[in-house]
Amino acid sequence: MTGALTRLGVHRIPVPVPFPEAGGPANVYVIEEKDGGVALFDAGIGTKEGRDALHAGLDELGISTGELRRIFVSHGHIDHYGCARAAQEASGAPVYAHLRDHDKLTGRDRTARRLELYAAYLSRLGAPPRLLEHVRIHWQDALRMARPLEHVEPLPAGTILRFKRFSAEVLHLPGHTPGLICLWAPEARVLFSDDHLLERVSPNPLLDLEGQGSRRRTAAWRCSTPASARRKGRDALHAGLDELGISTGELRRIFELLLAGPLTPAELAPKVFPQAREHQLYLTLSEVLGNLEVLEAQRRVARSERQGRIYFEAV
Ligand SMILES: [Zn+2]
């Protein structure tokens, strides 16, 4: 894997992420540009450790931040764009992301109005009002670990990015976030899959009011080498596809629980994740909802709404 990446003029810098739910460090890919300099695919989290890891990685490659030409962000999670603002300021490089995640990168999705929308939505999922407090804390964390960007360029699906040693197509794979993109290098058969497929954790589609699940689309892309954001390499994609962004064990567990009768996502979450602590409800609820959407698409569960609450039941 490393050999394949090196041949493409790509270098990987793992950047530590301070929350265990992330499942490990997030990779920054440093890609040699045609006319000198480098591009980044993802920028790592903006904590001190994150910045240090990125700078140490660039130092090791003999690259200064002034040599950054373009910065591509796979999706609007802080462990992927956290350092983008600083990198942009150091280099003047434009930052590109899919339009549907721009509000995350610019912080415009974290407004009082959106907090109200979240409150209404969480209540429909059956969540206790205190969960909203977690959303607020989550947003404060985001500001602490990722400075919002002022200017983000669009990165539409189908764009062909030309680098020094290969070209890659931008694939838009909404699910984990509405604007998640992967880079697909057809000649080398390498998929830069960031958080679309993860090795150790399922890529939790964090509750997102604009979200829509279609994580299974990767199945349509046949490739030999997924270069995930969080792993050193895997010889075949099929192992990742087995997971399809979701652990089948969780799917089964949720379906079994619903055989006993309808439940709200918030009632399901502690049953599916009995070990989870209360402050993790935001994450477990997101995970449960992602699984429910897959079961719903398979027509194995159906949702209904009663007295302002969304219930799911087995069909
Ligand atoms: Zn993510």
Can you list the domains of the chain with their CATH numbers?
2-106+148-242 (3.60.15.10), 248-314 (1.10.10.10)
Query: Among residues 24, 25, 32, which one has the least CA distance to residue 5?
Result: 32
Strand partners, 302: 313
**Model pTM score:** 0.72
Which pLDDT score, from 0 to 100, does residue 207 have? 58
Nearest to 24 by CA among 240, 164, 229: 229
d(CA 259, CA 240): 28
Residue 14 contacts residue 44 (beta carbons within 8 Å): no
Interval between CA 307 and ligand 1 midpoint (Å): 33
Say which residues have a Cβ less than 8 Å from residue 310's Cβ, sequence separation at least 6: 124, 125, 126, 264, 265, 303, 304
pLDDT value of position 303: 95
Pairing of strands 181-185, 190-194: antiparallel
14 half-sphere exposure, CB direction, 13 A CA radius: 14
Q: Quick one: how far is CA 25 from the chain centroid? A: 13
* Per-residue pLDDT, 278: 72
Cα-Cα-Cα-Cα torsion 77, 79, 82, 88, nearest 10 degrees, comes to -100
Measure 196 CA to ligand 1 centroid, in angstroms.
8
Instruction: Output the CA 310–ligand 1 centroid distance in Å.
Output: 26
Query: What's the length of the chain?
Result: 315
Cα of 126 from ligand 1 centre, angstroms: 25
Determine the pLDDT at residue 204: 57
d(CA 309, CA 304): 8
C-alpha atoms less than 13 angstroms from C-alpha of 302 in its C-beta half-sphere: 2
Please give the pLDDT value at position 84.
Answer: 97
Q: Which of 39, 29, 26 is nearest to 6 (CA)?
A: 29
pLDDT score of 212: 37
CA of 203 to the centre of ligand 1 (A): 7
Question: Which parts of the chain sit beneath pLDDT 50?
Answer: 199-201, 211-226, 231-246
Instruction: Give me ligand 1 centre to Cα 94, in Å.
Output: 21
Of residues 220, 167, 159, 204, the one with CA closest to residue 294: 204
- Mean pLDDT (the chain) is 83
Cα–Cα distance for residue pair 212/294, rounded to 1 Å:
11
140 C-alpha to center of ligand 1: Å? 17
Tell me how far the alpha carbon of residue 259 lies from the centroid of ligand 1, in angstroms: 31
Distance 13 CA to ligand 1 centre (A): 17
Q: CA–CA separation, 239 vs 234, rounded Å?
A: 8
Is the distance from CB of 182 to CB of 74 less than 8 angstroms? Answer: yes
Residue 306 CA to ligand 1 centre (angstroms): 32
